[in-house]
Amino acid sequence: MALPFVPLTRRSLLYGSALAGSAAAAYAAKSDAPYQLGVMTNLFGALPLEEAAARIAKLGYRYICPGARHPGGSNYTPDLPKAERVAVLRRLRDAGVQPVMSLGGFSGELNNSAALEKYRAQLDLCADFEIPVMVGGGPWYFKKFPTVPKREREWQVEVANFYRLMEQAVRHAESVKVIVALKPHTGITARAKDCIQVMQRIQSPYFKIAWDAGNISYYEGIYPDPDLVDLTPHVAAVCIKEHAGGRAEHNFPVPGQGNIDHDAMFRTLFAGGFRGPLCIERIDGRGEKVAAEVMDQRLTQAREYLAPLLERTAPKG
């Protein structure tokens, strides 16, 4: 199957966010790409970052979420000197990809002042790499997933502390113009209805949701989530993760081989104004180690499945 090629032009390096009038709406207006389908470089975690990026580009993808867990060379971490950040970004672009998303919000739990400083450092890193969305999560809800939640009194203290620190993190996000996007990950972001409540707690164009239908299926056993249609105006990014089987069954196959109705999901998102990046996060099945050549095959299958759906559902012009 011949798949559409989305050129990496100067204008398409400026991508769009979910809401008209939101922090990154200017990207959507300036982008000439109908969608931004990318890959998280951690899928090639055994390779250096720039080698992983080149491999992803060779497979036909033009956008990435750079990972921090790559061996050798300069990496995507806050300890990378500021002068080197420009050079690494240039090399990634020379390899044929543009970073559009970060998982920096998962670099540590946001639960104290030291963690807040690390969170701010991750936002600064995004800004230097011209990445408009940093994905993270709320506090973890379980003592032992999936059967032992935390005591309610303990949980409520954690939630209150998280919101207090996130308010400060979002103020920094506003100053560096990077969106913080929390994704479904149990607890306060367990489902779309919970994410809507989160959006009511902190209101800022730089505080949004990164949708992850695979997490809803894995952690909650729900697919599709009936409240996505109401959450969509707050969605700034999508982590693409297929899930097969029931709740807590560890099985993340290639998109199209599990529970998720991606066609319906894309239609809902785009109809609600979504214009953000979509990055493939996992295709490692039951968590097995996947050789780079096998990952190539799986990402090719994923693109052959996802690209036609996106072509049909993404807004034209």
pLDDT: which is higher, 73 or 179: 179
Is 164 strand, coil or helix? Answer: helix
Give per-residue pLDDT as tens, 292-308.
999 999 999 999 999 99
264: exposed, middle or buried (Cβ count in 10 Å: 0-12, 13-18, 19+)? middle
Is residue 6 situated within a structural domain? no
pLDDT: which is higher, 257 or 20: 257
| Structural domain of 221 | 11-305
| Beta-carbon contacts of residue 284 (< 8 Å; ≥ 6 apart) | 43, 252, 290
Distance of CA 68 to the CA centre of its chain: 14
pLDDT-derived band at 170, boundaries 50, 70, 90: very high
Is residue 317 situated within a structural domain? no
Alpha-helical runs (H) found in 95-151? 113-128
Position 25 scores a pLDDT of 43
If one counts the domains in the chain, the total is: 1
Q: Is the pLDDT confidence value at 29 over 50? A: no
Average pLDDT over residues 16-20: 34
Give per-residue pLDDT as tens, 91-102.
999 999 999 999
Average pLDDT over residues 165-194: 98
Positions of E strands within the chain: 36-40, 63-65, 98-99, 102-105, 133-136, 142-144, 148-149, 179-182, 207-211, 235-241, 277-282
Is residue 27 situated within a structural domain? yes
Position 69 scores a pLDDT of 84
| Residue in 8, 37, 236 with CA at minimum distance from that of residue 132 | 236
Average pLDDT, the chain: 91
Is 151 strand, coil or helix? Answer: coil
C-alpha distances out from residue 61 to 6, 11, 175, Å: 8, 17, 31
Q: Is the pLDDT confidence value at 7 over 50? A: no
Distance of CA 23 to the CA centre of its chain: 17
Position 30 scores a pLDDT of 41
Which CATH number covers residue 215? 3.20.20.150
Share of the chain above pLDDT 70, in %: 90
Q: For the stretch 186-217, what's the b/e string if a residue is b when 16 or more beta carbons lie within 10 angstroms of its beta carbon?
A: bbbbbbbebbeebbeeeebbbbbbbbbbbbbb
